[in-house]
Chains A and B, each alone.
Chain A
Amino acid sequence: MATKKKINFGDKSSLIVLIALIILLGLLEPAFATVNNAINILQQVTVVAILALGVNIVIFTGGIDISVGAVVALSGIVLGKIVVDAGLPMFVGIVLSLLVALFCGVFNGVMISKFKLQPMIATLAMQSMARGLALTIAGGKTISGYPESFLYLGQGNVFGTKIPVQIVLMIALFIIFHFIMRYRKFGRYIYAIGGNEEASRLSGINVDRYKILAYSISGLMAGVTSLVLVAKLNSAQPVAGLEYEMDAIASCVIGGSSLLGGQGSVWGTFIGAIIIVIIRNGLNLMGISSNLQKFVIGLVILLAVLADSFRNRKKLQ
């Protein structure tokens, strides 16, 4: 049917943009189309992509989470405090820092579903609280010095290969999320809530529970992102993750997720994240000012959203 083509157009358009970018940059910059650079790009995308993965779930429900960047900083600092400053085992640090991130997400979810706060406002508050806590706990200091075994997560390669562990982690997470969103009740319900919250509720879906879950996952993914980031840089900084939420949201939107909810895919978001990183990477390689990078990324977001709104308009006709 003609309609089916329209539905998939969004995902395809981001893929087309990606391919066009790769061809263009490959022609313009010899260093771009190399295996090493490809690995670099995937390595640089892990942080944004894992973060976007969580935010995407929230966006599917028609919500938004702008607290994730700050939560990355907070859970990183918690990790540093526990492992480096308090000298407790790595395992304890990882579990507690993930719990802190999860808690931030649960808190967002409860505020939004039970107390009916607008997602933007609730997560804005969380953004400020988490950032403030991170700065306070850290006392403004960077915390470094982690065990080698942990740094492996952000710096090591899968043994015997040149494939970084963080890339494997990222791809594994994407496969798991793809499975959940496509083959699990959770995924169906999340899309349903984003598509029509009232109809979902009247169909017997516990909307509040699933919304809280969505925000919790977003928080948890911020925690995972934080682990990768700390391991990559061997340091946790209270100013880490500044404005990362914007990159994450942009990834989702470029990848075809609608901020109205109910639309988009896990793989679309992956492509969106790669597009953002590729633009930065390519312009870096060509030695073009990063101020211009911002402009270009803004432009791509705009085009993606325009495509989204055209699709919606067609749908209404």
Chain B
Amino acid sequence: MKFKKIIALMLATLMMLSLVACGGGESTSDDSGSSEAEAVEPSADSDTEEVSSDAEEDSSATDGDIQIAYIVKALTDEFWEDMQAGAFAYAEEVGVEIDFQAPPKETDVEQQVNMVENAVVKGYDAIILSAADSKALIPAIITANEADIPVILVNDTIDMDELENSGGYVETYVGIDQYEAASLAGKHAAENIEDGKVAYLEGISGVQALQDRLDGFKDQVSDFEIVASQTANNDRNEGYNVTQNILSANPEVNVIWAVNAEMGQGAIQAIQQGGFENIAVYDFDAASDDIAAVQNGTLTGTVAQYPELQAEGAIQACLDILDGKELEAHTKTKAELITLDNVEEFIANKNN
């Protein structure tokens, strides 16, 4: 019995310590953020100089800074890494503090729900969310609504009708239009390939964005013959196996549309190793593997959705809302199809 108590005590202490540690980390990052912001953009402060000097004096205090919870689906691939980098860069630029969080993997929907709920309890000024599921996050968003914490969606949208029916709302959705972005690839395929026989690599089921990407492409190539449509659960090795299997049954396939980069890369490996030629592969995300593949011609096109721009847009949307502005339901950010024609340009821009 005693032993149990000791364990409980140790756990509690550990939790406290970790909280303190986290808190410490936040306040330091936010100190530097705030002082720099004030130094770089004094005009951003609408108050008088007196006040701003006051703020400088007690710059160790965190109140007065805008704190944003930035919750994404995972940090397991490059896209989210880039978004994180973009978010931190822009946050520093405009002088807000962001707390970037993600569950271990994209399918951990429940953990993401918990993160949003925790953020509401912690009382952030705004929550930026990239929803891991188009429906499961709705209750958590409503919780935030009730606490008057604005919610901005980024990159992944949710089922808006259901959100409305449940009495919730979001300020705006910042991101590309998944459907339109996917159409770019579809259009390219429709224009360049005759007599298309297409195989689709679907993503994890239940994610609206992935479904939109599938539909966006499909609707542009309505005269193509759909030879196969299988999910490979966004996984590279599964993408490889599924492609290999599809090609053995249907060697006539000449177009593959993979709704994420991992599956696209798996498909490329399977095609190369199977010795197939003249298959145009399109995928989504423009990860660095994709860019390399476009350069060497194994990937025909990849849709870039500029995660950095999305992060900037989302943070700016927070600031606008907190300033009392109204926003459009969809704050569109840039999407672009990267092919051999514009890949060098894309690399050059990215390196800047």
A29-B249, A37-B248, A240-B236 known; A141 and B78 CB under 8 Å? yes
Which residues of chain A have C-beta atoms less than 8 A from B205's C-beta? 291
Is the CB–CB distance between B104 and A284 below 8 Å? no
Residue among A140, A142, A290 making CB contact with B230, cutoff 8 Å: A290
Chain B residue at smallest Cβ distance from A136 = B75
CB atoms of B235 and A284 under 8 A apart: no
Q: Is the CB of B237 within 8 A of A142?
A: no
Using A139-B81, A280-B241, A290-B230 as known contacts, say yes or no to A155 and B105 having CB atoms under 8 A apart.
Answer: no
Report the bound CA distance from A185 to B154 in whole Å.
Answer: 60
How many interface residues does B have (CB within 8 Å)? 37
- With CB as the reference atom, state the residue of chain B lying closest to A284: B245
Residue on B nearest A30 in the bound complex, by CB: B249
Measured between C-beta atoms, what is the minimum distance from A130 to chain B in Å? 12
Q: Which A residues touch B80, using CB under 8 A?
A: 140
Q: How far is the CA of A140 from the CA of B244 in the complex (A)?
A: 27
Q: Are A233 and B228 in contact (CB under 8 A)?
A: no
Output the residue of A34, A155, A239 with the most chain B CB within 10 A: A239
Interface residues of A in 233-284 (CB under 8 A from B): 233-235, 237-240, 242, 280-281, 284
| A140: nearest chain-B partner, CB-CB | B75
| Contact-residue size bin, chain A (C-beta under 8 Å from the other chain) | 35 or more
Q: Are B230 and A135 in contact (CB under 8 A)?
A: no
| With known contacts A239-B76, A290-B242, A291-B205, A285–B249 Cβ distance under 8 A | yes
Q: Known: A155-B273, A287-B230, A290-B242. Is A235-B289 also a contact (CB below 8 A)?
A: yes
**Total A-B residue contacts, Cβ distance less than 8 Å:** 98
B:247-272 near A, CB below 8 Å = 248-250, 262, 265-266, 269, 272
Given A232-B269, A239-B105, A291-B231, A140 contacting B248 (CB threshold 8 A)? no
Q: Is A40 an interface residue when CB atoms closer than 8 A count as contact?
A: yes
Check if B236 sits within 8 Å of A280, measured CB to CB.
no
Q: Is the CB of A135 within 8 A of B248?
A: no
B230: A residues at CB distance < 8 A: 284, 287, 289-290
What's the Cα separation between A155 and B271 when bound, in Å?
Answer: 11
Which residue of the partner chain A has the closest CB to B81?
Answer: A140
Shortest Cβ distance from residue A127 to the other chain B in the assembled complex, whole angstroms: 11
Count chain A CB atoms within 10 A of each CB in B235, B241, B269 and give the residue with the most. Answer: B241
Q: Please, how many angstroms separate the alpha-carbon atoms of A142 and B76 in the complex?
A: 8
Bound CA–CA A155/B237 (angstroms): 13
B320 within 8 A of A: no
The reply on B66 being an interface residue by CB < 8 A is: no
Decide yes or no: A285 and B262 within 8 Å by CB, A141-B77, A229-B237 being known contacts. no
Contact B78 A237, beta carbon cutoff 8 Å: no
B245 touches A285 (CB 8 A): yes
Of the candidates B76, B233, B249, B269, which one forms a contact with A140 in the assembled complex, judged by CB atoms under 8 Å apart?
Answer: B76
Docked CA distance A29–B250 (Å): 11
Residues of chain A touching chain B, judged by Cβ–Cβ distance below 8 Å, are: 29, 31, 34, 36-37, 40, 43-44, 47, 131-132, 135, 139-142, 144, 155, 229, 232-235, 237-240, 242, 280-281, 284-287, 289-291
Chain B interface (Cβ < 8 Å from any Cβ of A): 74-78, 80-81, 104-105, 205, 228-233, 235-237, 240-242, 244-246, 248-250, 262, 265-266, 269, 272-273, 287, 289, 292
| 13 extra A-B contacts, CB within 8 A, seeds A141-B81, A284-B241, A289-B230 | A31-B250, A43-B244, A44-B244, A44-B245, A140-B75, A140-B76, A141-B78, A155-B269, A155-B272, A232-B273, A237-B236, A237-B262, A285-B245
11 inter-chain pairs at a CB distance below 8 angstroms, sorted by A residue, are A43-B244, A44-B241, A139-B81, A141-B81, A144-B289, A155-B269, A155-B273, A284-B230, A284-B245, A290-B231, A290-B233
